[in-house]
Structure 1
Amino acid sequence: MTGFLFSITFLVAAPFWALMILLPHWSWTRRIAGSPWIVLPPLLIYGALVAGAFTEVLPAVAQPTLGGVRDLLGTADGAAAGWAHFIAFDLFVGRWAYLDSREREIPALLMAPILLLTILLGPLGLLVYLLVRTRFAVKTAP
């Protein structure tokens, strides 16, 4: 079951990423990405994985040590839960960046590689977006 959940984690998030990157101006993209619930599928997977390994996860996160976290992530359950955690939070950050970029009218061609970077290396994508957004003010209605 762990292998299956690991395998589908990105698949349940991929359609949302595709909308934000490939169809950023489509009215349905903004409606769909406007809901914070788009992160629900990977969150449910994360919850299932953590619930199934709760006795291993709780000690590693309640009193974290490098060795304890390393050991947890070195298990199939820990690695799959970590992956689901990454996917959920990267999607939430990507969603925020997408919505914020629409308000600032940041060109979609500039946002596409930033969102791709966020998928691959979440914190670096966030850093790049935070730097880029300083160059674009929020557009206000006249």
Structure 2
Amino acid sequence: TTAPTMVSRLLLLFFVAIGYGSVSLVGAFQPSPSVVACKSAPFQSHSSFSNQQPARACVSLDMMPITGQEADWMGHSVDDLLATSSFWMAKQYATSPEPIHTAFSVATFLPQPFWLLMILFPKAQLTKKIMGGLEIPLLCCLVHFFIVATSIGEPGATAPLAEFNNVFDPAGDPQNAFMGMVSNYPNFVAEEWSHVLTWDLFVGRWIWIDGLRREIFTAPAVLFANLIGPPGLLIHWITCTISGKEIFESSEKSEIENL
């Protein structure tokens, strides 16, 4: 294994550890023991469900007196109670009226295995078979379209469009205007996030294919295309220059000019 390849793989593993370590899927569906001891416990069918968390009108386990029915309740093992509440929360999550929340997660994690293939195994037949076509980018486009279509059907859907004028007002403050939209419109954030991730994947795939066609080392460029987008393309340009190859061959430019 060459040194650049090893460095790229180490960077990738670091990114995976940071990205996935910050997301606790177990924590999303398993409340703490203090929540299990709540009088408005998750397995009561009338408990409200907001932001994927059960109502918490309760005190912690060590503060609540254990008497009567509560003593029978506490006779169960914590593992049993957690398993029951986890099932309840998973069911509520799946049936909650927040499809955009779920689509946001899909848009975030769906592309990641395919990035791994292009970075770690760029010449593998499996990678070529899966990423050689546009099926995966188009699937990401469908997720983005779902977020847009669902957002349109909700109250106040057109409000971000009205404020978009402030973002493109050269006499104003575009950055603050955009930050205001991010703070006030969660659906707009979901749309922009899936938008960015989809185009990152599209460009990363182009870099990977260009590397295969012209035998250019693309792992760092594809990695950074995933991490921070445009710098990945700049790294590919630098790699091409170091390799003595243009990022866009003159013959290709001539073909386009003659179209």
Normalising by structure 1, what TM-score? 0.80
Which residue matches 1:55?
A: 158
Compared with structure 1, are the counterparts of its residues 42 and 71 closer, same or farther at alpha carbon in structure 2 (3 Å cutoff)? Answer: farther
Q: Is the 8 A contact 1:101 1:133 kept in 2?
A: no
In 2, Cα distance between equivalents of 1:59 and 1:68? 11
Which residue matches 1:82?
A: 192
The structure whose residues are more often helix, as a share, is 1
Among 209, 217, 228, the residue aligned to 1:99:
209
Q: 1:31-83 CA distances to partner (integer Å, 9 max, x unpaired)?
A: 3222123212221121122221452354455x462255333333211111111
RMSD over aligned CA atoms reads 2.1
In 2, Cα distance between equivalents of 1:60 and 1:44? 26
Which residue matches 2:77?
A: none
Which residue matches 2:93?
A: none
For 1:33-72, list aligned pairs within 5 A. Answer: 33-51=131-149, 52-53=151-152, 54-60=157-163, 63=165, 65=167, 66=174, 68-72=177-181
Q: Is the 8 A contact 1:2 1:76 kept in 2?
A: no
In 2, Cα distance between equivalents of 1:121 and 1:20? 16
Which residue matches 1:115?
A: 222
Aligned-partner SS, 1:25: coil
Percent identity over the alignment is: 33
In 2, Cα distance between equivalents of 1:46 and 1:57? 17
Greater mean alpha carbon deviation, residues 37-46 or residues 66-75: 66-75
> How far has the Cα of 1:29 moved from its partner?
1.2
Gaps of 5+ in 2: 1-98, 168-173, 247-259
Larger radius of gyration: 2
Compared with structure 1, are the counterparts of its residues 77 and 26 closer, same or farther at alpha carbon in structure 2 (3 Å cutoff)? Answer: same
- Identify which of structures 1 and 2 has the higher relative contact order when contacts are C-alpha pairs closer than 8 Å and 6+ apart: 1
Gaps of 5+ in 1: none
Q: Is the 8 A contact 1:91 1:119 kept in 2?
A: yes
In 2, Cα distance between equivalents of 1:101 and 1:82? 29
Task: Give the number of equivalent residue pairs.
Answer: 134
Q: Is the 8 A contact 2:220 2:235 kept in 1?
A: no
